[in-house]
Amino acid sequence: MVFHWRKRGAGDVAPSEPIDREESAAARPKIGIALGSGAGRGWAHIGILRALKEAGIEPDVIAGTSVGALAGGAYAADRLDELEDWATGITRRRMFGFLDFRFWSNGLIGGGRLAEALKQNFGATAIESLPVRFAAIATEVGTGHEIWLTRGSLVDALRASYAMPGIFPPVKIAGRWLMDGAVVNPIPVSAARALGGRVVIAVNLNADLFGRGTVIQDSTIHPAPETVANRPRRFSAVMIDAFNISQDRISRSRLAGDPPDLTIAPKLGHIGLFEFHRAEEAIKIGEEAAKRALPGITAAIAALG
């Protein structure tokens, strides 16, 4: 089963004329936003982007990783409404119908159905034709290089950025096999700043998952009592835990090295990594988090203006 986003006019997939990205508001510094990874929690990006736009805060630079690239690409291509319609229409049953499982392959899910949905809505849109500077973050298989996709097919860039290892197969672009950018840069502040963002807003979808992690130097001295956290887990649960923990550790390391000017951290820890059917809830949480952050954002823009 394939789900389609609501279509607009046949001719408005991509602008016919080059767009001058330098025409951002002269009265304020350029705003960059780094949209982080988080799978099913990523629908919160929709609420965040919408709330910022309603407040008159529109980014000049968007860097996104994984689902952050999907939301950022939809926003940049003026398809955020369509993405929201599609996301809120996902149920548990529809979600499984949308997945094309491929066992004994380099990815559990082939990704063909999702790729087709992207093509039907973005068509041949090129990243360089977007009205804002946009980068989708991916990781090169083998070398581990962090790749910023800033030109070429928007659809291919999005597919590469969300190609979670073991779930989706890698995507080949310009001779490189690419996978999920979350492996190396879950919240791409560095890209948003390098591409021109003077005020950089980071969106951390996983801030409340393992924010108090620490080191236990010798667990044999005082055996820990049995709790839900240390009971044997199913294989799928172990994989999700491993991904969440690695994302938290990498995110904290990258943000410490290149901190954003402001961070929006919606409380999404209760939404599972693959609970894509909870879009309405995630969008609302994202919107509320963005509204709470507005005073700090406007103050930073005024200070650097």
Residues marked active site are found at: 66, 180
Q: Is the Cβ–Cβ distance between 22 and 190 less than 8 Å? A: no
Written as one string, the DSSP assignment of the chain is ----PPP--TT-SS-SS---TT-S-TTSPPEEEEE---GGGGGHHHHHHHHHHHTT---SEEEEETHHHHHHHHHHTT-HHHHHHHHHT--HHHHHHH--B-SSSSBSB--HHHHHHHHHHHTT-BGGGSSSEEEEEEEETTT--EEEE-SSBHHHHHHHHT--TBTS--EEETTEEEEEGGGT-SS-HHHHHHTT-SEEEEE-TTTTTSTT----S-TTSSPPPP-GGGS---HHHHHHHHHHHHHHHHHHHHHHHS--SEEE----TTS-TT-GGGHHHHHHHHHHHHHHHHHHHHHHHHHH-
Q: Residue 31: phi, psi to the nearest 5?
A: -105, 130
CB-based contacts of 49, cutoff 8 Å, min separation 6: 33, 71, 72, 75, 80
